[in-house]
Structure 1
Amino acid sequence: MKVVYLNANSTVLPIKNGITLALGYFDGLHLAHQRLITRTIEIAKENQTRSGVLTFQPNPKTFLGHQSVEYLLTPHHAKVNLLVEMGIDYLFVIKFDAQLAKMSHKDFVTKFLLPLDTRHVVTGFDFNYGYKGKGNINTLIEDGEHRFGITVIPEQRIDGEKISSSRIRELIMTGQVHECVKYLGRYYTTEGIVIHGFKRGRELGFPTANISTVDNYLLPQKGVYIVKVRVFRKDYWGICNVGNNPTFHENNNKSVEVHIFDFNQEIYNEKIAITWIKRLRDEKKFNSVDELVEQLKQDKENALDYINNA
């Protein structure tokens, strides 16, 4: 897959044999996004064009102040990796800034879609574009001067619930990480760098890797979770605490500490991936260190029971 970065001043060159484009921001690349992108690839093959995704960076909603902080389900590099796996030929990433925000919907199509030699556009039912989001699926045909076809993917639902990034965020923020797989088609994963901590876990017989989360990933609600950890290109099971270490009064900020089962290598400064499988319990303040250790033993036992019976 070729990644092309564009902005409001870019010269946009045509794609040989034309292109079928999926339009959207696609945070999470959940099952509804996957349906849209799969259909894009199918239409590209039918029409013998290349397939592409056209997206934005940063999130227009964040830039325009519709949401305060951009906590992501799939940062840019994760989105790139997933699109490569799906088989997309091109990814066009348009810088969303003040200049682009002021561009009319007609000018947006004239600036980006037509010069690419877009033959077909695939988008969701609620897609908006151009100044103040005034462009929509009804304006695309006229803006495109009838030079490309349009396929609109309707709202996708599972068990009566709309598949959306907002729904997935809600599940993560309430600790229901096991439900995310229903909407993502995979378990939710974050990444981070292993940093030095207080090393108290080692003293308790439960050494932990302290994780500095990268790329503004959205973290789950405080609590203890069953996780899979990918380090040195190998997967390990573990339990992970998200919270403030209330037993030791150590931290006012949310921290992430993972105890990796059957693992004793030094991994400081290594980048690791944490896949969130299931929440075990709330974070709790214990009356003594011994009480904490007993609970950690129980957490590990509960995690192994779940893993062995999954």
Structure 2
Amino acid sequence: MKTLHVTHPLKDYEIPTENTVLIMGFFDGVHLGHQKVIKTGVDLAHEHNLKSVLFTFDRSPRVVYQKEQNFKYLSSEARKQELIAQLGVDYLYFIEFTEEFSKLSPQEFVDDYMIGLHAKYVVAGFDYTYGKRDIANMETLPNYSHDEFKIITVPKQTFDQEKIGSTSIKELIENNQIDEANELLGYTYQNSGIVIHGLQRGRTLGFPTANLAVGKGELIPSIGVYVTKILVGDKWYDSMTSVGYNVTFSENTGVTVECNIFDFDQDIYGQDVKIEWLHYLRGEVKFDGAQGLVDQLKLDRENSKSFLYDK
């Protein structure tokens, strides 16, 4: 897959020379609903000997339109790229979603980024928009297409009769339901970050942890203790991870992400790592002292290993 980072307007050399199947959407999280849209486009490209082109944005439109501060994403740009590549897309376009770009009329957008990218088919989800929702939706797209391409609308994808959507998945992740979120994603939710120095209290308790500074803009699961895996170098290690406030010792650290890696003894400060969130174990508890916390951590480790190994 070739990835292009572009700005409006496109330069001639950024435009495909071949006819395409154009796959449209923001695809935050690349969840099961998104995967259906992308696979539909990829299969169509194979069927008609065309190139599949996925066109998306470098940030959420809400950051520009609603001026939303501190927007949290289910997938970083790098993670989105990785997930999309696994689905067999030929070209991935990230366009910078600027104020200027946001002011394009529906017709200008279709002319520049559908017809202009040599689309013979345009594939998108039922709720895709390219301007104001009431005038720039999949039902109105034929009004702008000039019959230059065929329109494939992928219907709503559901799980237990509920729509699979990025917003609902975020709510699950923020409310102790990482297991359910993983089902709707179709893979295990992941964060990336750098290992930083913490208070090193875990080491004194016999449970040394890697403190993770999570990538900017990435959504962190809710407060609690989780069964996890962590990627260090090129190897995944079993682990358990706490997202919390260090309430037992009343330390004003803010929210920390602390990963206790099983059967591991390496200095990894400053290293880039990835963490997968497999299962929610329990909420954060304030103990009377260190021994109560240690006893609970031993139980957490047993429960984590049971989840990992007893399936």
Cα distance in 1, alignment partners of residues 95 and 145 from structure 2: 18
Secondary structure of 1:134's aligned partner:
coil
Cα distance in 2, alignment partners of residues 121 and 66 from structure 1: 29
Pairwise CA distance, 1:113? 1.6
Do structure 1's residue 2 and structure 2's residue 2 form an aligned pair?
A: yes
Pairwise CA distance, 1:133? 7.0
Cα distance in 2, alignment partners of residues 88 and 56 from structure 1: 16
**Which position in structure 2 is the counterpart of 1:80?**
81
Pairwise CA distance, 1:96? 0.9
Q: TM-score, normalised by structure 2?
A: 0.96
Conserved in 2, the CA contact under 8 Å of 1:180 and 1:186? no
Give CA deviations for 1:111-163 in whole Å, capped at 9, x if unaligned. 22212111110001011113577311123223121100110000011111211
Percent identity reads 37
**Which position in structure 2 is the counterpart of 1:129?**
130
| Alignment: residue pair count | 310
Change (3 A) 1:10 1:16: closer
Cα distance in 1, alignment partners of residues 103 and 57 from structure 2: 15
**How large is the Cα RMSD of the aligned pairs?**
1.5
Pairwise CA distance, 1:181? 2.1
**Which position in structure 2 is the counterpart of 1:290?**
291
Pairwise CA distance, 1:6? 2.3
Change (3 A) 1:66 1:125: farther
Cα distance in 1, alignment partners of residues 33 and 113 from structure 2: 24
Secondary structure of 2:43's aligned partner:
helix
Pairwise CA distance, 1:42? 0.8
**Which position in structure 1 is the counterpart of 2:282?**
281
Do structure 1's residue 271 and structure 2's residue 272 form an aligned pair?
A: yes
**Which position in structure 1 is the counterpart of 2:255?**
254
Q: Is the deviation greater in 235-244 or in 67-76?
A: 67-76
Conserved in 2, the CA contact under 8 Å of 1:106 and 1:130? no
Pairwise CA distance, 1:52? 1.1
Do structure 1's residue 104 and structure 2's residue 113 form an aligned pair?
A: no
Give CA deviations for 1:36-60 in whole Å, capped at 9, x if unaligned. 1001011111121100110012110
Cα distance in 2, alignment partners of residues 131 and 291 from structure 1: 56
Secondary structure of 1:251's aligned partner:
coil
**Which position in structure 1 is the counterpart of 2:121?**
120
**Which position in structure 2 is the counterpart of 1:213?**
214
Cα distance in 2, alignment partners of residues 105 and 7 from structure 1: 18
**Which position in structure 2 is the counterpart of 1:222?**
223
**Which position in structure 1 is the counterpart of 2:51?**
50
Conserved in 2, the CA contact under 8 Å of 1:101 and 1:131? no
**Which position in structure 1 is the counterpart of 2:64?**
63
AA aligned to 2:227 is I
Cα distance in 1, alignment partners of residues 66 and 15 from structure 2: 33
**Which position in structure 1 is the counterpart of 2:185?**
184
**Which position in structure 1 is the counterpart of 2:42?**
41
Gaps of 5+ in 2: none
Cα distance in 2, alignment partners of residues 144 and 118 from structure 1: 10
Q: Which runs of 4+ in 1 moved over 4 A?
A: none
AA aligned to 2:107 is K
Cα distance in 1, alignment partners of residues 153 and 67 from structure 2: 25
Cα distance in 2, alignment partners of residues 116 and 280 from structure 1: 48
Conserved in 2, the CA contact under 8 Å of 1:141 and 1:148? no
**Which position in structure 1 is the counterpart of 2:244?**
243
Cα distance in 1, alignment partners of residues 36 and 63 from structure 2: 25
